[in-house]
Amino acid sequence: MTQGGRDGYVPREKQLTDSRLWRSRQLGPADRDALADTVEGIRRVDAGFDFVHQDAPADRLHVVLDGWAARSKLTEDGQRYLPSVMVPGDLCDLDALLFDRLDYAVTALTKCTVAVLPRERLLALIASRPGIAAAFAWLGLAENAVLTEWSMSVGRRSAHERMAHLLCELMVRMTAAGRAEGHSFDLPLTQNHLADALGLTAVHVNRTLQALRASGLITVKDRRARIHDWPALSRMGGFRPDYLHLDAVDQEVELPLPAWRPDRCGAPVLAFST
Amino acid sequence: MTQGGRDGYVPREKQLTDSRLWRSRQLGPADRDALADTVEGIRRVDAGFDFVHQDAPADRLHVVLDGWAARSKLTEDGQRYLPSVMVPGDLCDLDALLFDRLDYAVTALTKCTVAVLPRERLLALIASRPGIAAAFAWLGLAENAVLTEWSMSVGRRSAHERMAHLLCELMVRMTAAGRAEGHSFDLPLTQNHLADALGLTAVHVNRTLQALRASGLITVKDRRARIHDWPALSRMGGFRPDYLHLDAVDQEVELPLPAWRPDRCGAPVLAFST
DNA sequence: CGCCAGATTGACACGGCTCAAGCGGTGTGG
DNA sequence: CCACACCGCTTGAGCCGTGTCAATCTGGCG
């Protein structure tokens, strides 16, 4: 998955406008201008190819402008695992800001358009503009929260719950990215991708999706996910959107989710005492 | 687990000296002085009690000076999960720097001594001292990497592999913290804790440990872990220390691990190509 | 002495994995 | 235009790693 594949390096444009970074509350207009100027170029990558390589020297960050990508790691015995999935607008490899090599690759799950930002210029911006520093810090910490929730899913939830949780998360993130229509969104992941993200088998993903459809919660068909019963789905997945920390996002888009507010999100808050 | 428990608030001292934060390469002497002055107080917490509460307003950070702690979350149906374990010297709740409430609690696994750092003072330091800002940024990204590896463990490795991996990680971190003697270290976690950290059952943890002992890899007895065959253990767990990013730590202590360098760490490096 | 938390063991159930076959769409080369 | 290959999806049968439940054992401590 690493070489081959059209990987055109289009001359510089500025199209960060739809990215999560761009929408950060912490940024002022001047910050946004500065960021836009940082874009070194735009790459187009075919589905299935890595545009960031594991263990290779890293000196630039990547923002998915269009398409889906994922971080990807291999276990010693060759199983693939996707510790995080990037939807359009997401920053792929924040760690490249400080680390010289990454311990994951970033794979294009679909044909992708990717903005490339040179590390040095970003570091300079961070040093000189508190707003930009704050935005990156926020993104980093939010990412930690998402990873934590992800790992709890994998560690403690059943296949059905995990799938429900992931679909809820993607629904909310796609909505926040302005890429959802009502209760449905484009889901270009194959069942293999889902399996690698959830720590399951493709076969089992298939059966799980069928079960969720059979209970009338969702349908996934023709690369499109539709959520028919959000309250039930979020309850099943134990999903509460807090950990996504979307409150740092300028939200022109109204979130059309019926159970958006925590107190309506299903799971009763457990008393946490002896 | 939340109230009760001795929770003494000792008057201010300065004992960050052994913390990972303190050892960060990015800090100069003046930075360290400034950090030491930030300590608001020292708390002593009994084993089993939370010293950081989930969903409560957060306005201070905590460093475990002595003892072990862990972040802890509950699923809707009441299962406990420990997304990360803190050994002496570790920072517990970096997110409190920016987020007003945390989506996890921090539980003392043993009797703990904890330094408390007020968020506002830290933010001021970060704004005025690039070294301190860099140290925190590094810690945040390193945490990111650890969470990622943790979640891959839980998602893709068998119980034996997971256990092996965790023991390797703890061995290295304890060594880096100057708290290991040769190939053994204090491991005050109960089998229940291990289960909650690994996404397993206490019963299964027990059998797994026995199996590892039977193959001569380790012994865990009287709260002490001894690693008898590091190469085999790290190979079994697919452990490579890179993701811990300990290179940012001033390492007076020589790491006594035989297989410290990546190329001797067991797992053959997979050719990462098509 | 009695209590309790943690560790241990056994018997059994079950969720998710493995292996294997078949199906439908789609791109490609003859 | 067909043949073929390939990929993703689907389905079935059987197995195995972990979970569940429950009992017992151990050591520390009031």
For residue B139, list chain A residues with Cβ-Cβ distance below 8 A: none
- Mean pLDDT for B73-96 is 96
Find residues whose C-beta atom lies within 7 angstroms of strand C.
Answer: A 158-160, 199-201, 203-204; B 190-192, 202-203, 206-207, 209-210
Residues B242, A157: C-beta atoms closer than 8 Å: no
A98 → closest Cβ in B71, B97, B141: B141
pLDDT tier at B3, thresholds 50, 70, 90: very low
Could you give the count of Cα atoms lying within 13 Å of B140 in the half-sphere of its Cβ? 26
Q: What DSSP assignment string belongs to B101-113? A: B-SSEEEESSSEE
Q: Among A119-128, A245-254, B151-160, where is mean pLDDT lowest?
A: A245-254
Interface of B with A in 197-226 (CB under 8 A): 198-199
pLDDT, tens digit, 9 for 90 and up, residues A17-29: 999 999 999 999 9
Residues B141, A103: C-beta atoms closer than 8 Å: no
Q: Looking at the complex, does the CB of residue B127 fall below 8 Å from at least one CB of chain A?
A: yes
Report the percentage of chain B scoring pLDDT > 90: 82
Query: Which H or E run contains A214?
Result: helix A202-214
Is the pLDDT score of B194 beyond 80? yes
Q: What is the rounded radius of gyration, in angstroms, for the C-alpha atoms of chain B?
A: 19
| Residue B184 dihedral angles phi and psi, to the nearest 5° | -140, 155
Is the pLDDT score of B257 beyond 60? no
Minimal CA–CA distance to B102: which of A139, A243, A68? A243
Q: What is the pLDDT of residue A260?
A: 44
Contact positions of strand D to protein Cβ (< 7 A): 7-13, 17-22
Question: pTM for the full model?
Answer: 0.90
Distance, CA of A264 to CA of A169 (rounded, Å): 16
For residue A2, the chain B residue with the least C-alpha distance is B273
pLDDT tier at B7, thresholds 50, 70, 90: low
* Strand pairing report for A112-118 and A60-66: antiparallel
pLDDT, tens digit, 9 for 90 and up, residues A162-219: 999 999 999 999 999 999 999 999 999 999 999 999 999 999 999 999 999 999 999 9
Contact positions of strand C to protein Cβ (< 7 A): 5-11, 15-20
Residues A148, B79: C-beta atoms closer than 8 Å: no
Q: Looking at the complex, does the CB of residue B95 fall below 8 Å from at least one CB of chain A?
A: yes
B152 → closest Cβ in A4, A81, A127: A81
Residues A267, B84: C-beta atoms closer than 8 Å: no
Contact A49, A96 (CB under 8 A): no
Q: Looking at the complex, does the CB of residue B11 fall below 8 Å from at least one CB of chain A?
A: no
Interface of B with A in 164-183 (CB under 8 A): none
Q: Looking at the complex, does the CB of residue B155 fall below 8 Å from at least one CB of chain A?
A: yes
Q: Looking at the complex, does the CB of residue A133 fall below 8 Å from at least one CB of chain B?
A: yes
Please count the other Cβ atoms lying within 10 Å of the Cβ belonging to residue A15: 15
Is the pLDDT score of A247 beyond 90? no
Query: Which H or E run contains A181?
Result: strand A180-181
Per the listing, tokens 């930690």 go with A144
Minimal CA–CA distance to A78: which of B104, B216, B272? B272
Query: Which H or E run contains B148?
Result: helix B130-156
Q: What is the pLDDT of residue B246?
A: 87
